[in-house]
A and B are shown apart, each in its own frame.
Chain A
Amino acid sequence: MNRWSAADRKGTTGFWFAVRCVHLSLLYLLFFASYHRAFGESDNEGAYKRAVLRGQAQLEKSYVIGAAADRKAGDAKAAAKAACPEQNDALETSAKLLNDEAKRLAEEAKAFAEKALKEFTYAETIMSEHSEAIFGEGLSLLQLKEYCSAIRKIEWVRKAKGPDPETTFALGNALVNSSSVGSPELKTGIDLLGDYIRRAEASGNPQAYPNLAIAKRLKEEAEAKPKQLVLEAKRSDDEPNLALCPMPIPGKTELPFTASISSAIGYNNNVIALGRSLPLPNGVAQKSSFYNESTFALARDISMSHPASSSSGWLTDRLSLRYIFIADTFQELPTRDRLLQTISGSYQRAITPKLAGLVKISDQLLYIDQSIFSNVFSAQEALVLTLNTRWKTLLSYYLVRIDGFDPSTPATDPDGFTHRAELAQTVALIQDKDDLSPLLAFTGQYGHEWNETKGITGRFERDDLLGKLEWKGFHARNRCSFVQGITLALSDQWQPDRYTNATFSSSTSNGLFARAEETNAVVFAVSLTMWYDDSIKSASLPEGNRLETNFSYRHTTRDSNVNSKTYDQDIFLASVKFNF
């Protein structure tokens, strides 16, 4: 039985018609959506391809100009080398001009590599799942000598699409350029380059491997590195003061000086050096305090050379300049706030391949509680004997002029000269087996001082004995490691002072007696250098680290025959330093 009437059927048809219309509309929408999607994707693909090709063209330009820059640098090196045996002004000028030209070309090559990087980064934003753009970024970063970022990109590509000859070469290139002797990265880099060379030679079509010649040379040089390091160490061992000719061109730093700022938090449990079992002075609530130490420093080291008079070759000279500003602000004892400004300059000139003369002058201005407290000027003259890379002796004489600005009586006038004779000896007890750097070093120092102050109470004689062990627990062998070095140091300094004049009276005897005391200071310190950056690597900052943290603990004990002069003091200090 037909339960539906004609009208019903008509209505049903209308209903189905409506459903069909909706269906068609949906299909239409779907079609358009997919058409637009397809159209959009093709647009993206086109933009992606164009960006990658543009990047590739910029990179190729960078390679061409970079090669020209390297050729010029090579010519400059050859000219400088030819000018070496006897100073040849014409050749030196020619080397300088060639170097300038090489620098200009290198900058140009860098600019093209940066452009290429931009194009590849843009391509990556369009189609992030494609690996060509990321490999292009890796190559551009490699050309910009940003090896660590380049390694990350290339490794990503190798993971995503499997290793191929060009990524093998690029990764090998980045690894051997960013690691040093004794590192697993250097070995991996050599293996990768070897793999690329083997494949190229086995292919029977070396033209398909355009970087074959460079791969061969890079591998050769990387494999020769340990031998070269041993040769260099031997040369330094035999004649430590001999200068390389031509002198290596110093790295380009962002500023003419290496600058650093550091901030530290410290705790001093006896800021006022209060005598043992003595009550606090009036108006002073406590002797301990947390404090902040802020430092700003500028440093510049300039290496020079001069012809040796006794033999052929050149000897090294070094000029070092420093400015250091340190401010300590005490949380609980603001009256002890202090500010120290130091300016110093030293010049070391080699006399023979093992002996050098050093002159260092410095001036230190100390403010306490915003008032000038003292000025210390010192002049050091020293003979520096460096027998080899493990043994160094320093024999010094210091003339120190001290002027105090606190109120004093004629008897306590601190103004005057201090003389100090000092012998310092450093020995590298253990050297690294790969790169021959000192791992464990011992420094011993003996100093004898006597002074001539205007006031008689401050005249004394002092012996100063210091022993220090320094252990380099870790040093990175590749620039990609964030922590570049960890050094631990432990030192003990002992200073017995004998005052010349009897100016103290004792409650147990009738006569006056002379003050005598012993100070012992033990210091334990840990230093971490971090974040390698080639652009700040210089003679003043040989490790090229942007960041540095230091932790130190100092325990000082003073025993004296004057009770008020005895004290104990502990200082903890944790600092972070940023170099730029």
Chain B
Amino acid sequence: MKAIIALALGVLISASAGIAQDAREIAREMGADTTTSVSPGTDRNGVHRDTETSLESRQHAPNLLEAAQASKAKKQSKAQRKQLLQKRESVLKERQTAAEAAVAAVKKTEMTEKMALTPAETAANEALVRKKAEKAWDVKRRKELDKIDRALKEGSDDSTEVRLHAPSLLKPK
């Protein structure tokens, strides 16, 4: 390894010959040599983090777990979905029945009062009555339908929502 043996006292004929190396040596001493991809000792200033550390396969614990209460998007079973769809259908049917009942009531009134209306007027009247009945139904029951739709969309019903619950800290005496 050590092949060179100092020959004799060398006489420096020129002032400073090593400024180029000096700058890099000083940078190495200060732990920031950028002209190499590996740092001697430890990379205390993170200069070579991009070229030195790539073998890390370990993941720290927090990365492995999601939040405690993350509700898993549970896929509904076929039976659950069918039940929800049936419920939706029956609610929609109720809406339709309510509208038809309102139209029938108006028709009955027209007949009993022997009102003379043109077919166009009758149709417009019926449409108006149907719309009004549907609106009235929406005010009362729309939320129920929305709830079913949401449950179908999200794949889970509100009642099956998984979340943390705070225990009752103060027990009744």
* Binding between chains A and B: yes
| CB–CB A563/B42 < 8 A | no
| CB–CB B6/A504 < 8 A | no
| CB–CB A468/B20 < 8 A | no
| CB–CB A59/B24 < 8 A | no
Interface size on A, residues (CB 8 A): 177
For residue A232, which residues in chain B have a CB less than 8 angstroms away from its CB? 57, 59
For residue B47, which residues in chain A have a CB less than 8 angstroms away from its CB? 322, 324, 342, 344
Give Cα distance in the complex from A63 to B1, angstroms.
Answer: 68
| CB–CB A554/B57 < 8 A | no
| CB–CB A505/B11 < 8 A | yes
Given A63-B166, A67-B164, A457-B14: A217 and B72 interface contact (C-beta under 8 Å): yes
For residue A468, which residues in chain B have a CB less than 8 angstroms away from its CB? 38, 40-41
For residue A443, which residues in chain B have a CB less than 8 angstroms away from its CB? 38, 52
CB distance from A460 to the nearest CB of B (A): 8
| CB–CB B60/A479 < 8 A | yes
Say whether A188 faces chain B, with CB atoms less than 8 Å apart.
Answer: no
Say whether B69 faces chain A, with CB atoms less than 8 Å apart.
Answer: yes
Given A217-B72, A398-B35, A406-B16: A358 and B51 interface contact (C-beta under 8 Å): yes
CB distance from A255 to the nearest CB of B (A): 15
Q: Which residues of B contact A (CB under 8 A)?
A: 1-24, 26-27, 29-32, 34-38, 40-42, 44-47, 49-52, 54-73, 154, 161-170
| CB–CB B27/A340 < 8 A | yes
| CB–CB B37/A408 < 8 A | no
Closest Cβ neighbor of A276 among chain B residues: B6
Give Cα distance in the complex from A334 to B75, angstroms.
Answer: 72
For residue B154, which residues in chain A have a CB less than 8 angstroms away from its CB? 71
The interface-forming segment of A15-23, A86-94, A280-288, A375-383 is A375-383
| CB–CB B16/A552 < 8 A | no
Give Cα distance in the complex from A165 to B73, angstroms.
Answer: 27
For residue A342, which residues in chain B have a CB less than 8 angstroms away from its CB? 27, 32, 34, 47
Closest Cβ neighbor of A131 among chain B residues: B169
8 contacts between A and B (CB under 8 A): A66-B164, A221-B65, A320-B49, A455-B14, A506-B7, A507-B9, A523-B40, A563-B8
Given A63-B164, A67-B164, A217-B72: A414 and B20 interface contact (C-beta under 8 Å): yes
For residue A420, which residues in chain B have a CB less than 8 angstroms away from its CB? 35-36
Which of A133, A135, A214: most chain B Cβ within 10 A? Answer: A214
